[in-house]
Amino acid sequence: DSLFKKLLRFLQIMYSNVIRQQIYNDFNHFVYSEVAFGYKGLQIQLFYTAGNLSTLFKVKYSSTVTEMFDCVEPDDVEGKIREIVPAGFTCNTDDFVSLLEKEANFKPFGTLLHSYTVHSEEAGELTYQIHKANITCPGFQEYHERLQTFLMWFIETASFIDADDDRWDFFLVFEKYNKDGETHYATVGYMTVYNYYVYPDKTRPRVSQMLILPPFQGEGHGAQLLEAVHRFYCSLPKVQDITAEDPSENYVKLRDYVLVKLCQGLPSFAADKLHLGFSADMVNEAQDKLKINKKHARRVYEILRLRATDMSDEEKAREYRLEVKKRLFGPYRKNQRELAKMRKCLRPEELVSHMNQMDTRTQHEELEKSYQVVVEDYRRIIERLATQA
């Protein structure tokens, strides 16, 4: 029995492979890796057309462990991929080539919200469009089933949504380009937003998913998309505010940039008012005109105040530092309230244990560390705003 286990372990080492899913559009490919057992020379290939995302799915390998040992089965890699890739793909290269030839017939779904250009050193001015769609658009449901597979390749904790719910809004980014005299569109990225009900007659759009495909990242498409989505919902009187579901750090930084860009022209955020502190006028104007809640408006204020503050002036720098730390101190203040309650009900030895966990010096060190991280993030946003001016 032990010999058999050793043999299986040897085979696992010999035949374990790194899956390479090669996901192509007209210009680029990306690689996603996971360990699979039982194959030699394994390749999983996924080819997508740039616009319609028609899919070619192939599995290649030189041999499997079953060819050497009848009693050992390789992992069902193909079955796992089929659970993600929706029906309608082809396994035939010639069929896929014929689908490529039909790409000129593909047109973006939904309503055009925004167009913009990005300068490329190689290609010159490139044109992009942002469209809003919903699940009732003809052909969109099938397209979305193909589109959302990219989440699985590039976002570790991603999951599919129930797109049949009519409260979902979909925002799509496309590159518009010419090829052989014909207009083509390439999928760049997308965002899904769920419209929650707010009593008595409002809605709260919540961003659920957002993805810009790797070849297009770092070109400003995420900011263009988020700003277009904000402007769309700002035009709807029934919208209370706009939020995000479990946002990542990168999303928060992107949102800060977009909201500062939107708010910097509001009268309540004028440079001569920032040194007076965070005001009710800022909260109300951000809420009424841009559907920005108080928490997000506070961050906007801090970024704009940093931009307007001469940090080489010790007194002004100190005032700014205390203003930001006042917000950051919230969780520590909560700990102090809990400690006051503990003093009334805990035995001395228990109280000492909890006081050690809430050591004041440690709190101050953590607070300073948090402040430095926040200011560094704010500076990056200010620098980005300056380059876009």
* Positions marked catalytic: 245
CA dist 146 and 55 (Å) reads: 8
CA dist 3 and 13 (Å) reads: 15
Closest CA to 81 of 31, 157, 141, 152: 152
CA dist 376 and 208 (Å) reads: 27
E strand intervals along the chain: 17-18, 21-24, 29-32, 35-36, 39-40, 43-48, 55-60, 63-64, 111-120, 124-133, 168-179, 182-198, 202-212, 243-244
Buried b (16+ CB within 10 A) or exposed e, 125-154: ebebbbbbbbeebeebeebbbbbbbbbbbb
Q: Which residues contact 30 (CB under 8 A, 6 or more apart)?
A: 22, 23, 153, 154, 214, 215
CA dist 24 and 97 (Å) reads: 13
CA dist 208 and 161 (Å) reads: 9
CA dist 151 and 34 (Å) reads: 15
Three-state secondary structure call for residue 373: helix
Q: Which residues contact 185 (CB under 8 A, 6 or more apart)?
A: 50, 51, 106, 107, 108, 129, 174, 175, 176, 177
User: What are 31's strand-pairing partners?
Assistant: 22
